A and B are shown apart, each in its own frame.
Chain A
Amino acid sequence: AQSVTQLGSHVSVSEGALVLLRCNYSSSVPPYLFWYVQYPNQGLQLLLKYTSAATLVKGINGFEAEFKKSETSFHLTKPSAHMSDAAEYFCAVSGPAAGNKLTFGGGTRVLVKP
């Protein structure tokens, strides 16, 4: 079975500061990993995905994530936070036999302070 753990349900950062959201996964097979963002009262929007190509993945809105197999991690970063980054972020895992069914972490809500 696959699972995802996101460390920290809430993160507060100052505008212009580094954003770091942590994600650790558990999977018996090489995983596909995703980060999604959700704004209030909206669905989820794909930020980026890892599918066994480059371990450093660049996504939209200046976000990137690095796959580290030895640490079973896929942390999301953005060098400089913007007010518009305030949202909830979800890490998700899928796998070869999962029917593309995503298993999500519990989410991390990001608050950006001016």
Chain B
Amino acid sequence: DTGVSQNPRHKITKRGQNVTFRCDPISEHNRLYWYRQTLGQGPEFLTYFQNEAQLEKSRLLSDRFSAERPKGSFSTLEIQRTEQGDSAMYLCASSLGTANNSPLHFGNGTRLTVT
């Protein structure tokens, strides 16, 4: 178990630029989740995949955000035309199985700063 890996750890970008983050889940985990966490707040759900299928998207996920998990392994989260309000920690998590009590295993996150 090498854990959930996220890259990059930090990203600083100028407003209006596009950014892409990558998440590598624990290898046998079939579910993958993206969360956003702003300073002093709990993580907020963005979207999740079961294998390669994106099963749910939060209303927080505007049309500037897109997530993919093309082969049911790693996932990418792209933000187009970044805004200062997108500055946050983006957390990826994975879990095994389809039971709703399976614990989520989180990566260390990607901290995005939009200047």
Partner of B109, one of A43, A46, A102, A106: A43
Chain A residues 90-114 with CB under 8 Å of chain B are 90, 92, 94-107
Judge whether A100 and B95 touch: CB under 8 Å.
yes
In this complex, how many residues of chain B approach chain A with their Cβ under 8 Å: the count is 29
Judge whether B106 and A101 touch: CB under 8 Å.
no
Q: A94-B100, A99-B56 are in contact. List 15 more A-B contacts (CB 8 A).
A: A41-B108, A43-B4, A43-B109, A44-B91, A46-B105, A94-B101, A100-B95, A100-B98, A100-B100, A101-B48, A102-B45, A102-B104, A104-B43, A104-B44, A106-B42
Partner of B91, one of A34, A43, A45: A43
Which residues from chain A contact B43 at a C-beta distance below 8 Å? 44, 90, 102, 104
Q: How close is A35's CB to chain B, nearest CB, in angstroms? A: 11
